[in-house]
Amino acid sequence: MNRKENHKSGEAFEETQNEISVIVPAYNEEKAIYQSARQIVETLEKMDVQYEVILVDDGSTDNTGDEIRRAIKDFPNVQGVFIKENVGKGNALRRGFQHSKYENICMIDADLDLPPYQIGTLDQIMREKRADIVIGSKRHPQSRLNYPWYRKLYSTTYYFLILVMFGLPVKDTQTGIKIFSREVLERVFPRVVCKQYTLDLELLVVANRLGFKIAEAPVVLEFHKKYGHINWVDIRNIIVDTLAVFYRLYFLKYYDSFLLPAVDYEPRVTIVIPSRELDSNALQCIRKCCELNYGNYEIIFVPDEPVDHSVLPGIVRVIPGGGTSPSAKRNMASTSTDAELIALIDSDAYPDPDWLRNAIPYFQDENIAAVAGPAITPPGDSKRQQASGLIYSSSLVSGSTTFRYTFHSSRNVDDYPSCNFIVRRKDYIEIGGCLEEYWPGEDTVLCLKLTKERKKKILYIPNVFVYHHRRPVYSKHLSQVASYAWHRGYFSKKFPETSRRLQFFVPSVFVLFVICGLAPAILNSIIRLVYISVLSFYFLLVILSGIKSLDVIINLMIIPGIVTTHFTYGTMFMFGLISRGRKK
């Protein structure tokens, strides 16, 4: 997949090189951030360029924010971005880029291990080689390093790993100084998933995939910290994230997704959060919604009973819904607003900061009724919750719908959970909203009406994602599975257009095979051989599918979790299939 010809040539290319935005992410860098800003400003003044310096406080717990404000006061071209909670370097750089205005974007670490005067070197190489990206490289023959031996060992080992896995045309990905053209980041950032450990790698992998030209520059690295930030937990997380990039690149084809860049237009959005009460999950959801990187929205919280408004931010409206279902609560909220879009999210979920920002561009097409995205298990969830999320993301459990739980390529869908669902209010109202008699399953009917009655599309966009707390294995997880299965079985009769599909019947067929085949297998040796062979093959698949984490304990929970999920789903699907009534 190659991009179009580089449009920067001759005079136009030289002109764009005379402006630069420098982004400096900082987490607990109170001792270095002011000095870093001063040195960057001095460097840029000597380069005779138009410039801005964007210091991003990534939820620091020390005085980094105060030092950034001091730099803003002392240097006229310095500005700050303040993130309330530490999310990771990836999010900090993305937010800094969203606040930038110039054609070339330099990213440099705040700790001064890489003296800022080197920005000029990278800028010159970008001019000479007409490159889209220039990265500092510790492995460049002209680099000068004051670097501990163990960090050199880590770097060399990781280089060979990256070379084998990705074949990138560079010898170093992790050095903290890089320059990108704006076009690169406009196309790459929407595809980037990593927030922390392998951001640099993912940026370069995606840019290379899209056909951008990457050049390397020598660096001077003066290692100031005695031990550095890398420990064995970091190494494990780096390995996990690197494997995840590999999987998304070669297996999911995620980076080949058609993703639109953000637009300036911000239509009014109402976020609807139904809940029984204002519990810790609901409060987290509300607070995270208040931190969205979007300017034109409100939040409607619909609990059973009135709540104390003093604990809620000002943009939150509360509409008590009584003991009604989530479907009814969503309908109540949708009729009490005139917003163009309704964003549905569950109270036990919370959005990525760019949730709305990434969804809005697709609504420029009037044929798009709704945009949905994955519901990712939060990294801070318990091991039992993580096991539940990994069970759902297994293709042995979710079949062709694993994209609901992890990052896959963009696509059209006709059936999607309402825990992450942004819909045009006009379309929602005209189809009568959610059918209040169904829960769960109301989202199946909603999607069916949008796609079949309204003849419109629902898009799955992978970077429009939320984090969804899972029900821990086993009892709560299986209770949820049972409810889903019963409704799917019942819906296979009532709404066959999207519920009478082969993958929904497979667990029931397997359960019948296990139960009905047991007695014949005991009585007949040939049938016994077939029976044992099928079960052996099944358990082999379960074991292979259950190895989804570097945590052995989580894997040991996943394996029996897959089996019990199959039997629970298969059994309850049959009960729903033969049911004559509906179950709320």
- The verdict on 304 and 451 lying in the same domain is yes
- pLDDT, residue 396, reads 95
Rounded distance, CA 468 to CA 374, Å? 9
d(CA 321, CA 336): 13
- Contact yes or no for 403/444 (Cβ under 8 A): no
Indicate the burial class of 46 (C-beta count within 10 angstroms; 0-12, 13-18, 19 or more): exposed
Residue 480 belongs to some domain of the structure: no
Q: What is the structure's pLDDT at 153? A: 79
235 has a pLDDT exceeding 80: no
Residues 463, 497 share a domain: no
Q: Which of 192, 224, 254 is the last residue of a domain?
A: 254
Q: Which two tokens stand for residue 373?
A: 């995205």
Do 108 and 234 belong together in one domain? yes
137: in domain: yes
Residues 387 and 464 in one domain: yes
Listed as own residue / partner, the contacts of 501-507 with beta carbons closer than 8 Å and 24 or more positions apart are: 503/399, 503/400, 503/401, 504/573, 505/573, 506/399, 507/566, 507/567, 507/569, 507/570, 507/573
Residue 464: closest CA among 368, 541, 381: 368
Pick the residue with more confidence: 240 or 573? 573
Residue 448: pLDDT over 60: yes
**Minimal CA–CA distance to 237: which of 198, 192, 206?**
198
- In this prediction, residue 379 carries a pLDDT of 87
Residue 295, domain CATH:
3.90.550.10
Do 198 and 341 sit in the same domain of this protein? no
What is residue 41's three-state secondary structure? Answer: helix
Q: Confidence class of residue 2 from pLDDT cuts 50, 70 and 90?
A: very low
**66: pLDDT strictly greater than 90:** yes
Radius of gyration for the alpha carbons in the chain, expressed in angstroms and rounded: 26
Give the amino acid at 353. Answer: P
Could you tell me whether strands 144-146 and 78-83 are parallel, antiparallel, or unpaired per DSSP bridges? unpaired
Least confident of 77-81, 152-156, 379-383, 424-428: 152-156
| Distances in whole angstroms, Cα of residue 430 to Cα of each of 426, 454, 476 | 6, 9, 36
- Tell me the one-letter amino acid at 85: E
Per-residue pLDDT at 139:
87
Q: Do 132 and 23 lie in a common domain?
A: yes
**Mean pLDDT score, 120-134:** 95
Q: How confident is the model at residue 229 (pLDDT cuts 50, 70, 90)?
A: low
How are the residues of the chain apportioned to helix, strand and coil, as percentages rounded to the nearest 5? 50, 15, 35
- Give the highest mean pLDDT range of 149-158, 164-173, 562-571: 562-571
pLDDT of residue 145: 83
pLDDT band at 389 (very low <50, low <70, confident <90, very high): very high
Nearest-angstrom CA–CA distance, 57 and 64: 7
Average pLDDT, the chain: 91
Of 472, 504, 520, the residue at which a domain comes to its end is 472
Q: Do 231 and 299 reside in the same domain of the chain?
A: no
d(CA 416, CA 373): 9
Q: Could you tell me if 445 and 571 lie in one domain? A: no
Q: For residue 277, which phi and psi values (nearest 5 degrees)?
A: -155, 175
What distance in Å separates the CA atoms of residue 110 and residue 550, rounded to the nearest whole number? Answer: 31
* pLDDT at residue 120, as a whole number: 94
Same domain, 243 and 280: no
pTM of the model as a whole: 0.87
Q: Residue 188 and residue 192: Cα distance in Å, rounded?
A: 7
Q: How confident is the model at residue 13 (pLDDT cuts 50, 70, 90)?
A: very low
Interval 330-376: pLDDT, tens: 999 999 999 999 999 999 999 999 999 999 999 999 999 999 999 99
Q: Report which secondary-structure segment, H or E, holds 389.
A: helix 383-392
Of 370, 389, 517, nearest to 454 by C-alpha is 370
E strands, 117-219, are 133-137, 144-146, 177-181, 214-218
114 pLDDT tier (thresholds 50, 70, 90) = very high
Question: In angstroms, rounded to a whole number, what is the distance separating the alpha carbons of residues 236 and 421?
Answer: 34
pLDDT in tens, 151-161: 777 778 888 88
482, part of any domain:
no
The SS3 of residue 165 is helix
As a whole number, mean pLDDT of residues 95-108 equals 95
**What's the domain count of the chain?**
3
Rounded CA gap, 560 and 566, in Å? 10
Same-domain pairing of 467 and 498: no
The pLDDT, as a whole number, for residue 231 is 67
In a domain? residue 486: no
Inside any domain, residue 260: no
pLDDT at 18: 84
Classify strands 297-302 and 316-318 as parallel, antiparallel or unpaired. Answer: parallel
Q: Does 477 fall in a domain?
A: no
DSSP state of 313: -
Residue 195 is predicted with a pLDDT of: 74
3-class secondary structure, 269: strand
Instruction: Specify whether 274 is located in the same domain as 206.
Output: no
Q: Is residue 485 part of a domain?
A: no
Give the domain range for residue 350. 269-472
479 found inside a domain: no
- The pLDDT tens digits for 541-563 are 999 999 988 889 999 999 999 99
Section 208-220 average pLDDT? 95
Same domain, residue pair 420 and 500:
no
Is the CA virtual torsion 410, 414, 416, 422 positive or negative? positive
Q: Give me the torsion for CA of 509, 515, 520, 525, rounded to 10°.
A: 90
pLDDT average, residue stretch 142-163: 81
pLDDT-wise least confident of 123-137, 192-206, 364-378 = 192-206
To the nearest 10°, the Cα dihedral for 219, 148, 165, 182? Answer: -30
Of the three residues 437, 472, 507, the one that is the final residue of a domain is 472
42-59 pLDDT, tens digit each: 999 999 899 999 999 999
